[in-house]
Each structure stands twice: as structure tokens, then as C-alpha cells.
């Protein structure tokens, strides 16, 4: 973590020496998915304002948002009495007509940078990110609740360019003490059309290809096993029917004739025929 802390400290150093400052989009180190379809994450104004004139008083910072247009350079964030404006998202049509206040927080001090050595603690990650960053478009509830009180920070419009400004508020008088320049235009993402999504395997990772191959193989074996089970069940049913028919035929053939039947037996018939032949032969001899 030491190299990261050193790089961060050196990254803030030019800001404390510069004269014309503007809000910057958050580093990929802290916000890997930035911007999104409806949000843009910015770095908080560490060392942007002259610390020698602030003393130990806790100053407040307002963040103003406006859609990028030719009129943004003429947009005002304070009235004639030097009080900051409190225009809302709804009143400015989402920043199309004028800037609206999206967030308000205590000015972070240069010497109060969060300890990045604690970033490995999951319970402290959210606290560290909140100390470094401010996320515009993070509240999807306030714009739908008519009874919401406070600064509303609703989702931004996708595929739209926005510009941002930090304004320093004097806590004693409530006047605008200082302000940054408007930021460079930052555009929210847009949904990629279905036909433009690249499905070529070469753009997929090796792990994804291996997992897909394994799942396909498992599905193939599952289908083969199901087909084999169905065929085996049909074969078993056919063999059982043949065995039943064979057993019924055998049982019919071995059933004995009932006693007292009117049909003569085979032995009695043969004996009667032999006697008849003997009588005929003896009669011929006598003649």
C-alpha cells in the first residue's frame, strides 16, 4: 500500500499549487466502473482551496451539476447577495436550464487523508471511499418522493454530457467564499445495441471458455443418459410381455383332461380297431 499512498500524495500536490482548479473524475483505482449509465463519480476537493485563509473552521462544499451546453459558462451559482442557489433537479429539468445542487459535504482537509492501509478491511472500505469520492446520481428515491427534504441527487440521463463545479460556503455568513471552474464535459454511458455485442470467442477469457465447454459436455451426457433410460424402459416392458404370453401357453398345454369325459381315450380306440380286424379275418377263414 505504500506505493499507492505515495502516488496519491504526489497526485494531490499539483492541486494545492494550481490556481485554476476544476472537479476531476475519480481514479480507476477507487472507481473501476465509472461513469455508469446514470452515475458519475468525482474526487472530492482535497487541497483545492487556499487552506491558509480557512483556519480551523469546518467549511461546507456544494456540488453543482449542469448539462453541457453553450450556456454553461454563463451559469451562476449564487444570487445577488452572494448566497448559493439551492435549485433542485426538478426545477432545472435535470440541469438542462440551470445548475442544480446535487450534494453538500464538509470540506476535507489536506492533512486528513484516509489511511489506505485499512482498505483491506471490508468493514472500512465504504468509509474510505466516502471520504475520497462523491457519486453524482446516487439517489433513485428522492425524486420520486414528494415529501423528501434535503439535497436530492437523482440518477443522471444516460448518454449525456455533464459538467460540475465545487463551491465553498462560509459557515458563519453562509456566503459563497470560493469556487472552482466548471469541469470538462463527462459523458454517461449508453446501452450497447444487441447487434454490436461482440460474441467472438477470442474476446472471451480462457476460464470462461473452459467453463462453457464443461457445462456443454455435462448437458450432452445428461441427454444421453436420459435417452438410454427411456430405451431401457421400453425394452424391459416388451420382454416382460413375451414372458407372460409364453407362460400362459405352457399352462394351457399341461392341463389334464377331466375324468369322466365322453371322448374315448387313445388306447381304447386302438383296442377296438384291432378286435374288429380279428373278427373280419376269422369270418373269411370260415368261408
In a domain, 211, yes or no: no
Residue 155 pLDDT: 95
Distance CA 101, CA 66 (A): 9
Residue 67 counted as domain residue: yes
Whether 286 shows a pLDDT value over 80: the answer reads no
Q: What is the rounded average pLDDT of the residues 18-33?
A: 81
Identify the domain containing residue 187 by its residue range: 40-191
Domain for residue 203, yes or no? no
**Cβ contact 166:179 at 8 Å:** yes
Q: How many CB atoms lie within 10 A of CB 67?
A: 21
The answer as to whether 151 is a domain residue is yes
- The reported pLDDT for the residue numbered 19 is 45
pLDDT at site 3:
40
Give pTM, 2 decimals.
0.61
Q: Tell me if 170 is assigned to some domain.
A: yes
CA distances (Å), origin 245, targets 129, 154, 173, 254: 81, 80, 107, 15
Q: Is residue 202 part of a domain?
A: no
pLDDT (average), residues 212-226: 87
Greater model confidence, 275 or 38? 38
Least confident of 28-32, 65-69, 156-160, 248-252: 248-252
- Pairing outcome for strands 161-169 and 60-67: antiparallel
Average pLDDT value for residue range 249-254 = 57
Residue 271 falls within a domain, yes or no?
Answer: no
Tell me the mean pLDDT in the region 196-218: 71
Q: Which residue has the higher pLDDT, 12 or 154?
A: 154
ω before 35 within 30° of 0 (cis)?
yes
The answer, yes or no, to whether residue 276 has pLDDT greater than 70, is no
Q: What are phi and psi of 133, to 5 degrees?
A: -125, 160
On the question of pLDDT at 159 being above 90, the answer is yes
Residue 3 placed within a domain: no
Mean pLDDT of 116-143: 82
pLDDT interval class at 242 (50, 70, 90): low
Which are the contacts of 155, defined by CB distance < 8 A and separation ≥ 6? 38, 39, 137, 139, 140
Q: Which of 105-119, 207-221, 225-239 has the lowest mean pLDDT?
A: 105-119
The pLDDT of 116-145, averaged and rounded, is 82
Kindly list the distances between the CA atom of residue 235 and the CA atoms of 15, 221, 222, 240, 248, in Å, as whole numbers in the listed order: 83, 21, 20, 9, 21
Number of structural domains found in the chain: 1
The C-alpha cell of 251 is what? 399352462
- Residue 30 has a pLDDT of 80
The better pLDDT of the pair 273, 58 is held by 58
| C-alpha span between 206 and 209 (Å, rounded) | 5
Amino acid at each position: 500500500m505504500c506505493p499507492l499512498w505515495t502516488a496519491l500524495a504526489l497526485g494531490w500536490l499539483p492541486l494545492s499549487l494550481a490556481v485554476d482548479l476544476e472537479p476531476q473524475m475519480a481514479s480507476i483505482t477507487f472507481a473501476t466502473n465509472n461513469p455508469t449509465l446514470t452515475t458519475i463519480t468525482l474526487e472530492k476537493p482535497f487541497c483545492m482551496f487556499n487552506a491558509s485563509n480557512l483556519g480551523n473552521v469546518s467549511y461546507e462544499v456544494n456540488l453543482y451539476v449542469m448539462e453541457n451546453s453553450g450556456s454553461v459558462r454563463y451559469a451562476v451559482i449564487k444570487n445577488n447577495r452572494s448566497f448559493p442557489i439551492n435549485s433542485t433537479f426538478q426545477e432545472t429539468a435535470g440541469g438542462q436550464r440551470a445548475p442544480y445542487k446535487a450534494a453538500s459535504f464538509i470540506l476535507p482537509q489536506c492533512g486528513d487523508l484516509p489511511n489506505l492501509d485499512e482498505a483491506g478491511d471490508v468493514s472500512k472500505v465504504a468509509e474510505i471511499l466516502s471520504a475520497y469520492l462523491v457519486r453524482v446520481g446516487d439517489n433513485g428515491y428522492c425524486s420520486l418522493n414528494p415529501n423528501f427534504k434535503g439535497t436530492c441527487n437523482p440518477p443522471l440521463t444516460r448518454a449525456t454530457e455533464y459538467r460540475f463545479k465545487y463551491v465553498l460556503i462560509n459557515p458563519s455568513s453562509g456566503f459563497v467564499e470560493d469556487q472552482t471552474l466548471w469541469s470538462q464535459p463527462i459523458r454517461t454511458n449508453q446501452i450497447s445495441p444487441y447487434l454490436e455485442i461482440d460474441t467472438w470467442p477470442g474476446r472471451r477469457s480462457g476460464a470462461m471458455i473452459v467453463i462453457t465447454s464443461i457445462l456443454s459436455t455435462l448437458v450432452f451426457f445428461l441427454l444421453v443418459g436420459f435417452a438410454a433410460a427411456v430405451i431401457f424402459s421400453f425394452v424391459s416392458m416388451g420382454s416382460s410381455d413375451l414372458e407372460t404370453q409364453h407362460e400362459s401357453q405352457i399352462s394351457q398345454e399341461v392341463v389334464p383332461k377331466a375324468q369322466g369325459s365322453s371322448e374315448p381315450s387313445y388306447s381304447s380306440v386302438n383296442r377296438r380297431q384291432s378286435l374288429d380286424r380279428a373278427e373280419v379275418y376269422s369270418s373269411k377263414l370260415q368261408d
